[in-house]
Amino acid sequence: MKLQIFLKLLIGIATLVMMANSYAFCGFYAARAGSTLYNQSSKVVIAQDGQYQSVTMASDFEGDSKDFAMVVPVPQILKRNQINVVDNNIITHLDNYTAPRLVEYFDQSPCKPQIQYRMAPVASPAPMMMAKKARGADSLGVKVEAKYAVGVYDILLLSAQQSNGLVTWLKQNKYQLPKGAEPVINSYLAMGMKFFVAKVNMQRQAKTGFSYLKPIRINYHSPNYMLPIRLGMLNAKGPQELFVYHLNRKGRVVATNYPNVKLHTNKEIPVFNKNDFGTFYKAMFENQVKENGRRGVFLEYAWDMNWCDPCAADPLSDNELKQLGVFWVGKSQKMSSGVNPKMASRQILPRNSKDVFVTRMHITYDKAHFPKDLAFKATGNRSNFQGRFIVRHAWKGNANECKAAETYFSKILPKRQEREAQTMANLTGWDINNIRKRMNSAKPHKTSLGNQSAGSNQVK
């Protein structure tokens, strides 16, 4: 993999829907469905405040790092202090914190109907090496505006007069471009954009002792809140997965040029999903993508960074947020929430609170369904949302303990489990008979549904 590796980047108390006559008490976090479920995925973190934007890009590239390169359209020539590398663990932490989650509940004895609650745990630069050029950059209308060494990367900032000159220059410098790149590049040039080029310096990479590459973060000011994704689709083998994490002071972020769709949430599914949540989630998400014509920008999480319920991971620390470009953490206690400026001064956060709202988007995109770059808008909506699924463990007692227990096993539990099977079939498109068979095989005896292993069988 060469250029395409990173071009694909360019891009309180929870309210539960309780069923009538159910026997349960508050549960706890059981599993999460993060971006690691997807092989062809990219992650982009955007910290945004007014025209300030800090974009961190990470990708699960394949191949040798010596073949790694990326070309990114940017709105301006970046200075050295506007380019940094970020610890990949921070991206992983943010992914875990915002991931769709599975929570589990345990039915209490119907003979002693009382509700108990259990709280969820809240949890010196090397010289630049330039390829030999067949023609000078100036003769091609390409200007190397700046050169930097940042971590293991050699960075170039390019401007160009025409796309054919830039394409020729890139090819001469051993960047392999996909077919159809020239008109896309030309459209970015028409917008006055420059090009950020990064290649791995193998000498510096060898000294790090790591086989992976750290994400790159760039900061700039621009009135356009967007993510260029068209270049990365030119030579893609198929649909790609993109996770975008927005961090701001205002509230939930939405796409302005594609439909915004909320992920299915608060759905009760069979207990066997506890040990195979990833398989269920991928099928459910793909089915929802199809239902929305493959053009949806899916909201998986929107939450105030100060807390979570249930917590798939702890909120990010101030230091982690600062490394992602959230410059305002710890500098002001006044909330910038999109309200009237006269009112904003009255909205004071508690001491040590994070004035950060996070929005997680998940997009499955290809050229046919996403012909335009993604454009965004920050709203003043600070309401919380999370992709959340529920499994309920049956009571392990016996039907002869009391009349209510007999009713529980003969009527209430079978009806609930049938609802769960139908819900799972509707969400995934899987055959409901196969789901019922797997549910039945997981039951240790007729009157009790205890812990079980999902085994190696996959529902299809």
Q: What is the pLDDT of residues 164-188, one digit of tens each?
A: 888 888 888 877 677 778 888 889 9
**Is the pLDDT at 447 greater than 80, yes or no?**
no
User: How many domains does the chain fold into?
Assistant: 1
3-class SS string, 145-187: EEEEEECCEEEEEEEECCHHHHHHHHHHCCCCCCCCHHHHHHH
**Is the pLDDT at 335 greater than 70, yes or no?**
no
Read off the pLDDT of each residue in 78-104 and give the average, rounded to a whole number. Answer: 95
Percentage of the residues of the chain whose pLDDT score is greater than 70: 72
| pLDDT band of 441, cuts 50, 70, 90 | confident
Question: Edge to edge, what strands does the sheet with 253-255 contain?
Answer: 226-227, 374-378, 253-255
**Is the pLDDT at 3 greater than 50, yes or no?**
no
Confirm whether 421 is domain-assigned: yes
- Which amino acid appears at position 372 of this protein? K
Confirm whether 212 is domain-assigned: yes
List, for residues 142-157, the tens digit of each pLDDT value.
999 999 999 988 999 9
Read off the pLDDT of each residue in 185-207 and give the average, rounded to a whole number. Answer: 86
Provide the pLDDT for residue 211: 62
CA of 244: how far to CAs of 42, 151, 415, in Å? 8, 24, 39
The residue written with tokens 């500098």 in the block is 331
Confirm whether 139 is domain-assigned: yes
3-class SS string, 208-271: HCCCCCCCEEEEEECCCCEECCCHHHCCCCCCEEEEEEEEECCCCEEECCCCEEECCCCEECCH
Provide the pLDDT for residue 121: 39
Confirm whether 171 is domain-assigned: yes
Identify the three-state secondary structure at position 5.
Answer: helix
The Cα–Cα gap between 378 and 89 comes to 26
Provide the pLDDT for residue 49: 96
Read off the pLDDT of each residue in 38-57 and give the average, rounded to a whole number. Answer: 88
Read off the pLDDT of each residue in 335-358 and give the average, rounded to a whole number. Answer: 52
Identify the three-state secondary structure at position 109.
Answer: coil
Question: Edge to edge, what strands does the sheet with 194-200 contain?
Answer: 69-74, 194-200, 153-160, 142-150
Residues 318, 329 contacting (CB under 8 angstroms): yes
Range of the domain at 111: 4-123+125-441
Alpha carbon distance, N-terminus to C-terminus of the chain: 32
Provide the pLDDT for residue 14: 28
Confirm whether 92 is domain-assigned: yes
Provide the pLDDT for residue 347: 38
The Cα–Cα gap between 270 and 247 comes to 34
**Is the pLDDT at 41 greater than 90, yes or no?**
no
**Is the pLDDT at 348 greater than 60, yes or no?**
no
Structure tokens at 237: 């083998």
| pLDDT band of 103, cuts 50, 70, 90 | very high
Confirm whether 270 is domain-assigned: yes
**Is the pLDDT at 51 greater than 90, yes or no?**
yes
Q: Which residues contact 66 (CB under 8 A, 6 or more apart)?
A: 200, 202
The residue written with tokens 């950060």 in the block is 356
Confirm whether 449 is domain-assigned: no
Confirm whether 453 is domain-assigned: no
Read off the pLDDT of each residue in 297-308 and give the average, rounded to a whole number. Answer: 95
Read off the pLDDT of each residue in 285-309 and give the average, rounded to a whole number. Answer: 96
The Cα–Cα gap between 96 and 356 comes to 17
The bridge status of strand 216-221 relative to strand 385-386 is unpaired
List, for residues 365-408, the tens digit of each pLDDT value.
998 999 999 999 999 999 999 999 999 999 999 999 999 999 99
Provide the pLDDT for residue 175: 75
Nearest CA among 156, 157, 155, 153 for reference residue 201: 153
The Cα–Cα gap between 363 and 299 comes to 9
Provide the pLDDT for residue 237: 72
Read off the pLDDT of each residue in 44-64 and give the average, rounded to a whole number. Answer: 86
Tell me the H-state helices in 295-380: 318-323, 341-344
